[in-house]
Structure formats: C-alpha cells, structure tokens
Amino acid sequence: MHGRGMARDIQERIKKLIVDQRLPSGAPLPTETELMELFGVSRNSVREALKALQAMGIVEIRHGFGTYVGPMTMAPMIEGLIFRTVAGHYRGEDSLLQLLELREAVETGLVARLAGRIPEADLAELEALVARMEEEAAAGAVGADTDRAFHASLYRHLDNPLLSEVLEAFWDAFHRLRTDLVDVPQDPKVTCAQHRGILAAVRSGDAVRAESAVREHFGNIRDRLRPGHRP
C-alpha cells in the first residue's frame, strides 16, 4: 500500500490495467475475486474502487454477469453538472442561467465557423428536422428529441467526436434541469421559426447572421429564465 488511500491506489491500478492492455470499451475485466487476489486486498476495497470508477464511467458493472470497461462517455460529467446546478439553484444562485450562457457562448462561436460549410446532405437532414418540429408544434409542443437532434446534427460535421459529445452533454444537462427545476413556458411556433432561421443562415454561408440567429434562439430561452419574467 502506497501513499494515502488504498481505495485510491486500487483505482489507479485498475486504470493502469485498462490502459496497459489497451482494453476497448466493453472488454471484460477481472472478477472481483480475481482483482482482490491480484492486488492482495479485501473484496470490500475492490468494490469501493470499482464503485468510484463506475461513477466516472470508466467501468461498467453488470450484476450477475461481470465487470467491463465502461463506455467512457460524458454521462458522468452530465450528472455532476446537473447536481451542481441543482444545488446552486436551490441556494439562490443563477446556476441554470450560467449553464445556458455556457451553451450560448460555445455554440455561437461554433456556428459562425460552420456557416456555408455544411454539405447538402446534412442540410437536408436539418431541413427534415425543422419540418418535423413544425409538425409537432402544430400538434402541441415540440418534442425534446427533435430539438436535441437538430443541435446534434448541426455540430456533427465539425468532425470532432469529443466536441460533439461535450455539446450534447451540455444540452442534456440543460434539458433535464429545465424540465426538473423550472418549467419554462415555450411558444412552439417561435421555437420553430428560430430553428428555421438558424438553418437558413447556415445555408446562406453568412457567418454573422448565423451567429446572431443562434444568439436569438438562446436569448429567447434566457429571457424566460430571468427572474420576474414568468407570467
């Protein structure tokens, strides 16, 4: 046992195991019994280390089946971000607004770079999504999935999986918070129009217009989040 913290130590050793053996996501890991023999520690310590790794998405545990290398997505980050925001919200901070501004800051910067560079195939996909959105708007409210898909498709062609994942993580966090924390009223038709505006701007290749279209979209949500703006 080294420095301070046996459980910490075991976590590092398991991580090292994954890295050294180049294990891909989904690869099976040693059983708890094997790990405790391998490291010379008790079952309990092994389990505590695994739980911590599971919380970080590094490991996936399936009851009665085995332990595997985790998907290593941004899911844990979402959880952390959500909790942090919820806690801040109930303590009177404007944490939800901060999260929205974070998304706004990042997405406005990115969309400017995308303007005019999206291939026709993807534009058609976005077109279809806006159409679906308008359909749903007429029927009542825009489905969350549709909005998510629009944003995902928009930034997909940046060709950086990590970047896309981070953006989707922010979207997911904000979405879950918006529904759990405060039910922000939305006008479906306005939402549709704004998405159509973003698409049109991106298609036209006008970076400035694209940026302001996205900003307008976020501004719409932001206004409804600000205190004293809920009728």
Partner DNA sequence: TAGCTCAGTTGGTTAGAGCAGCTGACTCTT
Partner DNA sequence: AAGAGTCAGCTGCTCTAACCAACTGAGCTA
> Measured from the CB atom, is 61 or 152 closer to DNA?
61
66 binds, among DNA, a copy of itself, none (CB under 5 to 8 A by kind): DNA
Contact with DNA (CB under 7 A) among 21, 27, 33, 138: 33
> Does residue 98 interact with a copy of itself by CB under 8 A?
yes
Specify the pairing of strand 59-62 against strand 66-69.
antiparallel
C-alpha to C-alpha distances, 141 to 113, 133, 186, 187, 224, nearest whole angstrom: 31, 9, 8, 8, 17
> Does residue 11 interact with DNA by CB under 7 A?
no
182 touches 99 (CB < 8 A):
no
DSSP per-residue letters across 93-133:
--HHHHHHHHHHHHHHHHHHHHTT-S-HHHHHHHHHHHHHH
220 touches 175 (CB < 8 A):
no
Mapped onto helix, strand or coil, the DSSP state of residue 28 is strand
Beta bridge partner(s), residue 59: 69
2 touches 13 (CB < 8 A):
no
Contact with a copy of itself (CB under 8 A) among 17, 38, 110, 144: 110
> Measured from the CB atom, is 49 or 192 closer to DNA?
49
The span of 87-95, 124-132, 146-154, 223-231 binding a copy of itself (CB under 8 A) equals: 87-95
Beta bridge partner(s), residue 66: 62
> Does residue 56 interact with DNA by CB under 7 A?
no
Question: Which residue ranges make up the site for DNA (CB under 7 A)?
Answer: 1, 4-7, 31-33, 40-45, 47-48, 50, 61-67
Question: Which residue ranges make up the site for a copy of itself (CB under 8 A)?
Answer: 4, 7, 15, 18-19, 22-24, 44, 47-49, 51-58, 63, 72, 74, 76-77, 79-80, 83-84, 86-87, 90-91, 95, 98-99, 101-102, 105-106, 108-110, 112-113, 158, 160-163, 166
